[in-house]
Chains A and B, each alone.
Chain A
Amino acid sequence: MTPLLLTAPLLLFMLVFYTLPVLAMLLRSVSEPHWTLANYAALSVDTVFQNVFLTTLRTAVIVTFGCLVLGYPVALYLLRPGRTALNALIVVLLPFWTSILVRSYAWMVLLGRRGLLNEALIAAGVIAHPLRILNTSIAVYIAMIHILLPYMILPIANALRQIDPSLRRAALGLGATPAGAFRQVTLPLSMPGVAAGVLLVFVLSLGFYITPALLGGPRDMTVAMLIANQVDQLNWPYAACLSAALLATTLAIMALFQKLFGVGTAFRSIER
């Protein structure tokens, strides 16, 4: 009983200030203008919504893949003993201490027509005219990968750290090449961390708002941006429908990962 009592203040806080408002919001999708499912029926044939939804999913997939490819080697590097790994960890965590808004603006400065990147490339003679990067999908991907990388690196590093180092030695001693030992032992044993990182990054990507709004072009509208847009126009039922769709997608993906990889265990520890 006592543990439940100890969590009661938090549960009460979440209920009053989070769960109830969310439910009230979602309720509007079926209660306005009168009790009906017509809003959802409209959504299913709404091409604007479908395009935005596909853009959001595509962005999430690309960003997740980018984070995985860039993050895994870093997670491996963090395993090294001594100060270099510690310094690398600080570099990985540094972005956590700056707001997303500031970092998104920083990318605008870097990627703009007269930004540092274009200026440098022109000065180096690689290109003659500035590249158009800002306000394209590329800018959104770059900035989102940068912002979400720690969410990929940390779970993977945690999973790697829990692998008994003698397993790699055993694999080498039994005749595996260093690459073979990685592929057959380290990589499969780190999969719970990979699954956890992929899930975190993917789910966070689905709800991204500021970064695509600042760095993307008109074709890069995400579901979150569309929701904000509709709330601005006081179109509450439509915004509520979109929110419900986004929430359902997120929950479905989490359920899928739980089923496939048992991601829940990755947040605890890996059973030996």
Chain B
Amino acid sequence: MKGATVSLWSVEKDYGTVGAVRGVSLDIGAGEFLTLLGPSGSGKTTTLMMIAGFEDPSNGDIAIDGHSVVGVSPHKRNIGMVFQNYALFPHMTVAENIAFPLKQRAIVKTEQRSRVAEVLDLVRLPGYAERYPKQLSGGQQQRVALARAIVFNPRLLLMDEPLGALDKQLRESLQLEMRRLHAELGITFVYVTHDQEEALTMSDRIAVMNEGRIAQLGRPEDLYDRPSSKFVASFLGESNFLSGVVHGFEPNDIVVTDCAGAMVRAVASDRPTTGDAVTISMRPERLHFADTLATPLSNRLIATITDAVFVGERCRYLLRAADGTSLVVKEPSGSGIRRRSVGETIELVWGAADTVIV
């Protein structure tokens, strides 16, 4: 395998009395693209810094390819690393920056030159070798940082919010580039971001972090469709939350009553017991207006439109149910789709599989 495996066992990091990381266990497969996603202060960057070796865990163990690396200096770990602010050496040219890790490994000059040219082609920056970092745009600097991190063929690449400082369009094109690089190199990527779209676009798996712990780990579609907590449901995409009481069980579904006055069918990762007070989560684009759907869906609720906003590819409606609960519904925009007006009372329908107890 070209990629390294990374394992974390109950890793903790305390700064004085505050716990930055409070027990993270994680197995990252060879060649996987894993993203640590979370708000600032969730411990994602600290976790990455411990894998890189810039921080030592207070407790727990970290292994790369099965060998514990706790206490091993960063320069002996042979890991590629891309920093948020690029961290290019300002007194060196692009070529010297990229050759830096090769120079540390005492690779002969001629090979250094050919490897630098090769990797500049790979990040699509040929002809920039003799420039200085400050002569490049942010996006170009990030490509150089990326080139420098992979030129010595590491089997693991760590990235700390590498696209954070770039504008949206550039970020999106670089996201696709990262995916391409990941596929071409076949090495393990561990990527830190607070941007859920970035995480969904690029990752094989996402570990959503909150308050120093992994809130949920899974493939992007699993996390989006089956969030296990209110935090994950609201951090990854948008969600409607209704509270209710577990009424009973059907072969596939759980019946929840008193949800804004309605009875709904829902699914859950952990099976609750009858009588439990629960919160259900529904994605705004999974709620439909009843008159647009031919096939019946199991859940329905009457609500009145209180606001309608056109946001380009879709319309965003704000509704209020009979008991006062607010709901958000997103509907694609288009010539064949009727725009609803404020004040309209309408029936919402949605499927049991899109109703998750969190």
Binding site for B on A (CB under 8 A): 164, 166-167, 169-178, 180-181, 184-185, 188-189, 271-272
Contact = CB atoms under 8 A, between A and B. Distances in A.
Contacts, number: 67
Interface residues of B, number: 25
Given A164-B85, A166-B85, A271-B134, A172 B90 contact: no
29 contacts: A166-B87, A167-B87, A169-B54, A169-B83, A170-B89, A171-B89, A171-B100, A173-B74, A173-B75, A173-B80, A173-B81, A174-B75, A174-B81, A174-B100, A174-B101, A174-B152, A175-B75, A175-B78, A175-B101, A175-B104, A175-B105, A176-B100, A178-B75, A180-B75, A181-B75, A184-B89, A271-B134, A272-B90, A272-B134
A170 B87 contact: yes
Given A169-B83, A174-B148, A180-B104, A189 B90 contact: yes
A271 B149 CA distance: 24
A99 B215 CA distance: 63
A169 B85 CA distance: 12
Interface string B31-70: 0000000000000000000001110000000000000000
- By Cβ-Cβ distance, the 6 closest A-B pairs, closest first, are A175-B104, A170-B87, A174-B101, A173-B81, A166-B87, A172-B74
Contacts of A185: 89
A262 to B, nearest CB: 13
Contacts of B152: 174-175
Interface of B: 52-54, 73-75, 78-81, 83, 85, 87-91, 100-101, 104-105, 134, 148-149, 152
A86 B308 CA distance: 58
Contacts of B134: 271-272
Contacts of B89: 167, 170-171, 184-185, 189
Contacts of A172: 54, 73-75
Contact of B87 (A169, A180, A189): A169
A111 to B, nearest CB: 42
Nearest to A168: B87
A93 B48 CA distance: 39
B191 to A, nearest CB: 16
